[in-house]
Chain A
Amino acid sequence: MEDSTRRVLQRLIRRIPTPQLKTTLEKWSGMTVAQRGSMDYTQTKWALTEKLLSLCEENDWTTKHITELEMIYVIDNPNQGMWHGFQLLDPEDDAHSVELTQFKEQFKSHLGELVRHVSVKIKKHTDEAVWIRIAWGDSFSRPNHLKPTYVVHHLQTPYVFVTGLTSKQKPLLSQALVLSTRHHTIKDANLSGRKLTAIRDLLMKQYQQVFPTNFPSPLAEKNETVSNPKIEREQAGPGAHRHQMACEAFGDGMLPQLQSAVYKLETKFKDHTNRTMTERDEPFKCIVKFESTNLLESLRYCAASGIASTPVTPLLSSIPLKGRNYFVITDNGPGPSSQMHQSQN
């Protein structure tokens, strides 16, 4: 046990960049004030690790202490690894009244029934989010603290964000979540990215949206004296219109930082210059992936600059609208694989 605690601590210190180490340790209750004061953060990582390992002996820290430290770090620096969005469906009547203590108890007991060896730690963050850290074991092995799953759930909302989950653990987590939040089912929201905040903002629609209006800029023209109003209007009109359409599709201002969107297309190839392919029965299969440091801003730029035609195709505007970034597109109605039916022109 002692040895594994040391290993978890070593791994954790290696993960935390030195500048963040100080703030993380200061929020942690594992060290005395004197011990905190004795830390010299100008030392090398190796020296700091040695120091903390000796403190570990001294203070008799257990794995519990270390996982607590890990949670502090992860909650402050959530934008690591891949986060996946899930959505809870069909709430029961009392779903809205689930509060933290009840949820905590329920979740732990439900998961404990499903997996024999599992270590769950739940913490409430200031922004109302509940953070759950799960270290999984199985019937024969102790919980593995080196590969934990993190789950973030905002109580009274249907959204759950998960990182570090394997396909084997997925049904177990789903069941525990569904039962403890008083819902009937949970589904993959088909949204994933490296930034938890972006995924959350997209699903909860917490970004600056623009709604269509018939009067895009009602007062602007009256007060302006323009040298050649006709030319100005001619040039500004379509540009401003495109910009408006782009903002309506993707939002205004800073947009949630999504890194990619993937479309699996199995649609008919239609090209009036190519009869052979158009007459072919089988769909044309391809996968299209869009990538950018901020995908929504790139796409908005595409539409505003005219590289993408406006109005923006539903395929692209579905990313913010439906809050998802993985799509399967087929021509024929809802089959088993079709997750989004495309209305072809």
Chain B
Amino acid sequence: MEPPHNSVVRTPLNSVIVQRRSKSKSYRQSYRSCLGAASRLGLTPALTARRLNTSRRAPKSHNISEKVNPEHLALLLKTEWKLSYVSPLYKFRHTQLKSYSRQLSAFIAAEKQQGLAVEVEGLQSGFRVTLSVVQGLTETDDDAETVLIQIHANPLFARQDEPQRSVWSGWLTCINGNTDYLHSLPKDFTCLPLCGCSGSEYLSGLVKSWFQQTFDCCFGPLEINHTSLQWLVALWTNCHMESSLQHLKMSWTLPVVPPLQVTYTVNPQDAWELWCSVRAGRQEEDEEEEEGGSIDIKEVMRLMQGLKGHFFRHFRLDLSAGSLRQVTTALGSAKCNGRIKISNSRYMITTLTLLTECALLKMPI
């Protein structure tokens, strides 16, 4: 393994996508022609990679704590986020966040009031919405700056001097978004495909519907599928030398009656050594064509196979029959229902890159 800062590389990652584009072109054209050019999004010569990348750069440790406002970073780290994907925002301007804050406050106040027959005094001033840019949380020049949304409210039985407390927060981001896709968007669109929310469902719904109305976009739930969870197992394990995993905990659910949950917790050092052995095998095979900076899906699969094989040897029970539901390490935790917590700022970029990719895959064409 090379030290991470040496791998400046773009390994075959680009070429893979380019190839895929040419392959899928005919399919997409026919898909579009049968839809007609009605939808505005349909007009974009949009090219999302239809499948998850099969190879990605090894996680570099990014010291984003120097770039990102510590208050923002603390919020991003301490919270578990419920993920959604968002289609590109029409006429969204990072320069107008102040005005958006006011509009969203007013929107929430209006919605809150709708259900009430009598006007309750002081309710309008109950919510304070702040939209802000999270400076520094981007990777390439094509990525739009991350937007953070915070909603503060007066506690229900507040005294006069009591400060407002945070009741909801969320963000929209794009980290290492597929450049082909981003370039293919028409001028007035901003692509922030990954959204995380934390707080009441009701407020999440309100914020999303305001975005939908204002920027003509759509939101949808983003699950973290089996493959992405396996990627996270590998990406996080790969970080162990720089920042300890503490434990690698994976949970499967097996489709039996009653459902069986299997939690497999591996000693971090052993997981790391297994990962190294799987990586070493690859480097012997095709050392010439690849540089150490990238991780291939085959290696991820071999790691999982190794773990499952060890399990099978003892219990004669095939974990492949079930589905991986959750991965937890000291660096973060991810659940298949789209909840994620990133506990270490240094690997935030890596994790968000993967999730941005997942979100882009969900994009309607």
A-side residues, CB < 8 A to B, are 263, 265, 267, 269-271, 274, 276-277, 280, 282, 284-295, 297-299, 301-302, 305, 307-309, 312-313, 315-316, 329, 342
Are B277 and A290 in contact (CB-based, < 8 A)? Answer: no
The interface-forming segment of B19-27, B162-170, B262-270 is B262-270
| Docked-complex contact B306 and A290, CB < 8 angstroms | no
In the complex, are the beta carbons of B317 and A302 less than 8 A apart?
yes
The answer to whether B254 and A302 have CB atoms under 8 Å apart is: yes
Q: Which of A267, A276, A282, A297 contacts B258 (CB 8 A)?
A: A297
Please, which residues of chain A bring their CB within 8 A of the CB of B318?
A: 307-309
Chain A residues closer than 8 Å to B306, beta-carbon distance: 269, 271, 274, 277
Q: Contact check: which of A270, A288, A301 meets B311 at CB < 8 Å?
A: A288
Question: In this assembly, does B310 line the interface, its C-beta being within 8 Å of a C-beta of chain A?
Answer: yes
Query: Once the chains bind, are A292 and B260 in contact (CB under 8 Å)?
Result: yes
Report the separation of the CA atoms of residues A305 and B257 in the bound assembly, to the nearest whole angstrom.
10
Interface centre among A280, A290, A342 (most CB of B within 10 A): A290
Q: Which chain A residue has the least Cβ–Cβ distance from B248?
A: A286
Which residues of chain B have C-beta atoms less than 8 A from A287's C-beta? 264-265
Please state if A307 and B254 are interface contacts (CB–CB under 8 Å).
Answer: yes
B323 at the interface (CB under 8 A from A): no
Going nearest first, the 9 A-B pairs with the smallest beta carbon separation are: A285-B267, A276-B277, A298-B260, A301-B256, A308-B317, A309-B316, A289-B263, A291-B261, A307-B321
Q: Are A307 and B258 in contact (CB under 8 A)?
A: no
Residues in chain A near residue B264, CB distance under 8 A:
286-288
Q: In the complex the two chains form, what is the Cα distance from A287 to B248 in whole Å?
A: 10
**Per-residue 0/1 for B305-335: is the Cβ within 8 Å of any A Cβ (1 yes, 0 no)?**
0100111011111100110000000000000
Which residues of chain B come closer than 8 Å to A284, judged between CB atoms? 266-267, 270, 274, 310
Chain B residue with Cβ nearest A263: B314
Please measure, in the bound complex, the distance between the C-alpha atom of A230 and the C-alpha atom of B258, giving whole angstroms.
33
Q: Is the CB of A313 within 8 A of B258?
A: no
A277 to B321, CA, bound (A): 25
Out of B260, B313, B322, name the residue touching A291 (CB < 8 Å). B260
Contact B309 A299 (CB under 8 A): no
Is B278 part of the contact surface with A, judged by Cβ < 8 Å? yes
Give the shortest distance, in Å, between A273 (CB) and chain B (any CB): 8
Q: Nearest Cβ in chain B — how far from A12, in angstroms? A: 32
| Docked complex Cα distance between A305 and B322 (Å) | 13
Contacts of B273 in A (CB 8 A): 276-277, 280
The answer to whether B280 has its CB under 8 Å from any CB of chain A is yes
A311 to chain B, nearest CB (A): 8
Chain A residues positioned under 8 Å from B309 (CB to CB) = 271
Q: Which residue of B lies closest to A286 (CB)?
A: B266
Give, as a whole number of angstroms, the nearest-CB distance from A296 to chain B: 10
Verify if B259 is at the interface (C-beta below 8 Å from A).
yes
CA distance A282 to B278 in the complex (A): 17
A290 and B260 contacting across the interface, CB-CB below 8 Å = yes
The 8 Å CB contact of B257, one of A277, A291, A295, A301, is A301
How far, in whole Å, are A305 and B311 apart by their CA atoms in the complex? Answer: 19
A310 to B, closest residue via Cβ: B316
Q: Is the CB of B257 within 8 A of A290?
A: no
Whether A329 contacts B261 by the Cβ 8 Å rule is: no
